[in-house]
């Protein structure tokens, strides 16, 4: 069938759709001129281009209306937005710029500014044609890579002084197919080198890479209309903010409002990241969090079931299919091959075995401990309360169970127990707490203040709702420190921000995530739309969005803020502020904060754990700044040796601090870590030094408070004596 015939079949009368229909028809014809009738490469298989359905077109129109009229961000669909949607769509389809050529991009130039009008009226074909072209280019690239493997990886030259760019997201598009061929030769060399240096022989390398590329090919040939539609709609919806997204009917079945796309089995929240599936966060109390090796920003390469010999490569897979593969019966083990978040390049992977289980509410519960500090012949007892998430047993609550579990109820009990033990101060540990039930954050603030506002919520109409603590009782009125880090988000930020605004306690740690928006899920005729409808503001008026909560005393973190956090996300809503609401200021720390910071700095100056943390942060920073990697075997060996040596030295330094024997090799370290991770009942006897520092800061506050009290008492006695 000719291009013209295919075009006429697609649009029997495109002009009756008005201006938008004519634009879409012209764009489609222009794209058709760049598309072969089918993608037939060195195989008997033929790629069958996907086409939009009537239901998808209707859903597209509904999505466009919802975005324009109900999203918090007031934004129109215009030519400027068209260009941004086009760029985001290409970023999703070919984010590393390894499939399309500069000529392909030039052929898209006429399409770039017309997508907006088409998206307003459900004209989806231009987006589908872009998708189909990219899929065909992917097939061509994968077939080329397989042809190189067929010739034998031993024929590749690893003696030349070559290097490869690790992140191509900002690179120029390659000029033509020949340039792409040269790039893919380098990509293959990089993959082979990484496995050779791990001790894998060439035959096993060829088998593994062939399996990877053939698996990706299989996924491309199985492309569905819904794949193109979901990718296109998410590029479109993502223009408003990164938390607004479209869920296909199948994805909607897996969606849980409290825990988007969390996996039944390992307890991890995942999202698509170009051709990879990326870990967003771990569910507190879940198997992955307890196992301890999987980390946010890790990317999943393959998944292996315990009863299978070979892993299934999932690069290029749909998110819902990766979810299905990782799910499984309780007590069974799934093994994930991941690219660690701090890996120097995509060829560095590690294998993590996780035993599937249900996430139990009691394992997410708040817990406590007491630590003691000796200062000037006086001992201070500091209570520490760890809160992994803001939870509530809604089912038990609705059934009228008087003993239902919730964050606030559990913390109140822990506070009573700590008070009975005679603690002098309390440290609330909200590190890695990604949020949860909003009303629990509101109620938790109420345990530490008398009646008053806790958070403001503004919608797209600028209407502001103020949540209040209506209970005048206070569970704890003593000194308070709140620990946070980059993974503290949403409800955690509301609590920390309120405590800071009320002057009720000090916030210690690193800048929080900055998730200050509220989403709602709206049903469509086809799937669902998760849309941002409101924004959180502190009682002082500043938003928690984008900026998060800035600690009063900062402690550096290993987390790369340029990759994790709201301000690292494209199109994130900005920080702003509204009017403050009247609230009590319990204490003004301005008179003591400088002294507290000085004491903290002096303690950390020679603290072995902190010095080690700084070394790790610098090591990770150097790796992130490495933009290229050598393809010369000897140079690569030296580079890997340096990385392994640094890893081993850091691990042994930590072992020495805790009185352990040093590891002789990296293999020995990895084996020990696997054993520790496999023993889910094991506990770390050493107190987390960040928690310990939170206690030290509390002890400083108590000492300074006593000093100030003594000064005030002395002044009072002097004044009385003078009065006589």
Catalytic residues: 490, 501, 515
CA atoms of 193 and 345, how far apart (whole Å) = 12
CA atoms of 52 and 332, how far apart (whole Å) = 39
Residue that is written with structure tokens 């503290």 in the block: 488
CA atoms of 640 and 344, how far apart (whole Å) = 10
CA atoms of 24 and 114, how far apart (whole Å) = 7
Residue 554: how many CA atoms within 13 Å on its side-chain side?
8
Question: By three-state DSSP, how is residue 245 classified?
Answer: strand
Contact 436, 391 (CB under 8 A): yes
Q: DSSP class of residue 159?
A: S
CA atoms of 222 and 644, how far apart (whole Å) = 40
In the structure encoding, which two tokens stand for residue 623, read together? 């790796």
**Distances from the Cα of 682 to the Cα of 288, 550, 677, angstroms:** 15, 34, 9
Contact 104, 34 (CB under 8 A): yes
List all residues 6 or more positions away from 166 whose beta carbon is below 8 Å from its beta carbon: 344, 345, 346, 626, 627, 628, 629
Residue that is written with structure tokens 């206070």 in the block: 474
Question: By three-state DSSP, how is residue 569 classified?
Answer: coil
Contact 238, 88 (CB under 8 A): yes
Q: Burial letters for 367-377: b for 16+ Cβ neighbours within 10 Å, e otherwise?
A: ebeebebeeee
Question: By three-state DSSP, how is residue 52 classified?
Answer: coil
Among 300, 319, 302, smallest CA distance to 253 is for: 319
Contact 115, 82 (CB under 8 A): yes
CA atoms of 536 and 518, how far apart (whole Å) = 7
Helix/strand/coil percentages in the chain, nearest 5 = 45, 15, 35
Strand intervals (E) in 488-639: 506-509, 517-523, 528-537, 553-554, 628-630
**Distances from the Cα of 547 to the Cα of 174, 241, 506, 551, 565, angstroms:** 37, 15, 18, 11, 9
Residue that is written with structure tokens 């033509």 in the block: 176
List all residues 6 or more positions away from 489 whose beta carbon is below 8 Å from its beta carbon: 433, 434, 435, 512, 513, 514, 515, 548
Residue that is written with structure tokens 């197919």 in the block: 177
Angle between helices 125-151 and 177-197 (to 10 degrees): 60
Q: Burial letters for 644-665: b for 16+ Cβ neighbours within 10 Å, e otherwise?
A: eebebebbbbbeeeeeeeebee
**Distances from the Cα of 524 to the Cα of 229, 534, 647, angstroms:** 14, 20, 50
For residue 82, report the phi and psi dihedrals to the nearest 5 degrees: -55, -45
CA atoms of 142 and 590, how far apart (whole Å) = 62
3-state secondary structure 613-628: HHHHHHHHHHHHHCCE
């Amino acid at each position: 069938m000719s291009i013209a015939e295919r075009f006429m079949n697609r649009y029997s009368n495109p002009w009756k759709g008005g201006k938008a229909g004519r634009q879409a028809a012209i764009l489609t014809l222009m794209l058709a001129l760049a598309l072969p009738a089918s993608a037939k490469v060195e195989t008997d298989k033929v790629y069958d281009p996907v086409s939009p359905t009537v239901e998808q077109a209707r859903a597209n129109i509904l999505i466009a209306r919802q975005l324009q009229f109900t999203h918090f961000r007031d934004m129109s669909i215009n030519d400027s937005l068209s260009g941004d949607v086009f760029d985001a769509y290409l970023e999703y389809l070919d984010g590393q710029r390894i499939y399309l050529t500069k000529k392909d991009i030039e052929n898209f130039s006429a399409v770039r500014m017309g997508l907006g009008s088409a998206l307003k009226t459900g004209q989806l074909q231009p987006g589908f044609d872009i998708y189909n072209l990219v899929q065909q280019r992917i097939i061509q690239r994968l077939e080329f890579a397989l042809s190189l493997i067929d010739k034998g990886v031993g024929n590749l030259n690893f003696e030349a002084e070559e290097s490869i760019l690790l992140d191509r997201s900002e690179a120029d598009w390659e000029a033509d197919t020949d340039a792409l061929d040269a790039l893919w030769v380098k990509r293959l060399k990089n993959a082979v080198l990484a496995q050779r240096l791990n001790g894998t022989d060439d035959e096993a390398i060829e088998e593994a890479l062939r399996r990877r590329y053939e698996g990706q090919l299989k996924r491309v040939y199985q492309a569905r209309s819904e794949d193109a539609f979901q990718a296109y709609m998410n590029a479109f919806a993502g223009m408003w903010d990164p938390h607004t997204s479209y869920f296909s009917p199948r994805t909607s079945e897996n969606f849980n409002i409290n825990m988007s796309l969390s996996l039944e089995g390992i307890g991890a929240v995942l999202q698509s990241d170009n051709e990879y599936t990326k870990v967003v966060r771990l569910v507190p109390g879940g198997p992955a969090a307890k196992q301890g090796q999987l980390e946010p920003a890790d990317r999943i390469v393959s998944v292996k079931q315990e009863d299978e010999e070979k892993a299934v490569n999932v690069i290029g897979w749909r998110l819902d299919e990766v979810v299905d593969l990782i799910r499984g019966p309780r007590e069974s083990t799934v093994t994930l091959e991941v690219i660690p978040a701090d890996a120097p390049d995509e060829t560095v992977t590690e294998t993590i075995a996780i035993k599937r289980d249900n996430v139990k509410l009691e394992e997410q519960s708040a817990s406590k401990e007491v630590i003691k500090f000796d200062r000037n012949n006086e001992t201070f007892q500091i209570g520490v309360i760890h809160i992994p998430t803001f939870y509530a047993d809604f089912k038990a609550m609705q059934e009228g169970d008087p003993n239902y579990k919730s964050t606030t109820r559990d913390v109140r009990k822990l506070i009573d127990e700590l008070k009975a033990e005679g603690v002098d101060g309390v440290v609330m540990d909200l590190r890695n707490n990604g949020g949860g039930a909003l009303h629990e954050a509101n109620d938790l603030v109420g345990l530490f203040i008398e009646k008053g506002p806790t958070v403001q919520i503004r919608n797209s109409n600028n209407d502001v709702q103020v949540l209040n603590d209506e209970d005048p009782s206070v569970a704890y009125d003593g000194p308070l420190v709140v620990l946070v880090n980059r993974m503290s988000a949403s409800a955690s930020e509301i609590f920390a921000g309120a405590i800071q605004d009320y002057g009720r306690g000090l916030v210690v740690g690193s800048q929080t995530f900055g998730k200050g928006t509220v989403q709602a899920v709206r049903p469509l005729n086809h799937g669902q739309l998760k849309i941002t409808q409101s924004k959180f503001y502190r009682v002082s008026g500043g938003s928690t969005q984008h900026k998060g909560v800035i600690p009063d005393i900062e402690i550096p973190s290993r987390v790369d803020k340029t990759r994790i956090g709201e301000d690292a996300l494209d199109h994130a809503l900005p920080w702003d502020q509204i009017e403050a609401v009247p609230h009590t200021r319990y204490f003004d720390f301005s008179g003591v904060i400088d002294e507290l910071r000085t004491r903290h700095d002096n303690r950390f100056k020679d603290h072995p754990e902190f010095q080690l943390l700084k070394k790790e942060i610098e090591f990770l920073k150097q790796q992130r700044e490495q933009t290229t990697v050598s393809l010369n075997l000897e140079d690569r060996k030296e580079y890997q040796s340096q990385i392994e040596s640094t890893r081993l030295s850091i691990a042994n330094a930590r072992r020495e601090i805790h009185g352990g024997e040093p590891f002789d090799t990296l293999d020995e370290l990895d084996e020990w870590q696997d054993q520790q991770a496999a023993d889910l009942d094991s506990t770390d006897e050493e107190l987390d030094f960040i928690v310990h520092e939170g206690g030290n800061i509390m002890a400083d506050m108590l000492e300074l408070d006593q000093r100030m009290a003594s000064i005030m008492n002395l002044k009072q006695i002097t004044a009385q004596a003078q009065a006589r």
